[in-house]
């Protein structure tokens, strides 16, 4: 098994289980987004299931699987936020921060008046008047908003993983 390291300023060394599709190696969570351990890669796929059609969908990967950009725009924006946060933590460890411009950009990609846009608005409210970035690790308020965002993605993930389950059965029936 090849391990690739992601080494960032102030971070512990992150070992990848395989050198591609880093976000698919993150555990599926709905909380604890304010902890460094959340961003460690633990999820591994065997040789039969290490392909995009058989890898489970998570909050980190749903943006890669969107079927209809208009219908799924809020889901994609939310997943992009989770991916961005993970990347920031990998690169900067405990010093990772979330830029206000990132939130504003993703908010503009979500459905107006929808729940995802509302949560992005709540995240925007966390920024001080003179601040353009907030910390990720140890930020309980941000964690609360991210928990709400992850909950909104649950039904989309369940529906997508039903197809993944059928794909896995097909792979093993052919083996």
Residue 16 pLDDT greater than 80, yes or no: no
Which conformational region is residue 10 in: left (phi greater than 0), alpha (psi within -120 to 50 degrees), or beta? left
Number of domains in the chain: 1
Q: What's the CA angle centered on 88, arms 73 and 40, to 5 degrees?
A: 100
Give the other-Cβ count within 10 Å of 51's Cβ.
12
Which has the higher per-residue pLDDT, 138 or 21? 138
Residue 113 pLDDT greater than 90, yes or no: yes
Q: What is the pLDDT of the chain when averaged over all its residues?
A: 83
Q: How far apart are CA 4 and CA 167, in angstroms?
A: 28
Residue 119 banded pLDDT, cuts 50, 70, 90: very high
Q: Which of 1-5, 39-43, 75-79 has the lowest mean pLDDT?
A: 1-5
In the prediction, which pLDDT does 27 show? 76
User: Average pLDDT in the 50-77 region?
Assistant: 77
The string of pLDDT tens digits covering residues 120-152 is 999 999 999 878 999 999 999 999 999 999 999
Domain range spanning residue 107? Answer: 4-174
């Amino acid at each position: 098994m090849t391990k690739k390291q992601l080494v960032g300023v102030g971070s512990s060394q992150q070992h990848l289980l395989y050198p591609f599709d880093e976000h698919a190696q993150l555990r599926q969570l709905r909380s604890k987004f304010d902890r460094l351990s959340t961003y460690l890669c633990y999820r591994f796929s065997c040789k039969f299931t290490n392909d995009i059609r058989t890898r489970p969908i998570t909050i980190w990967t749903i943006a890669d699987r969107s079927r209809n950009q208009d219908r799924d725009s809020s889901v994609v924006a939310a997943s992009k936020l989770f991916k961005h946060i993970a990347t920031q933590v990998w690169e900067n460890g405990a010093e990772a921060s979330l830029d206000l411009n990132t939130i504003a950009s993703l908010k503009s990609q979500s459905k107006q008046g929808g729940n995802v846009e509302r949560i992005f608005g709540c995240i925007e409210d966390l920024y001080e008047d003179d601040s353009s970035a907030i910390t990720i690790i140890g930020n309980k308020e941000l964690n609360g908003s991210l928990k709400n965002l992850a909950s909104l993605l649950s039904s989309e993930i369940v529906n997508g993983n039903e197809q993944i389950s059928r794909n896995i059965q097909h792979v093993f029936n052919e083996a």
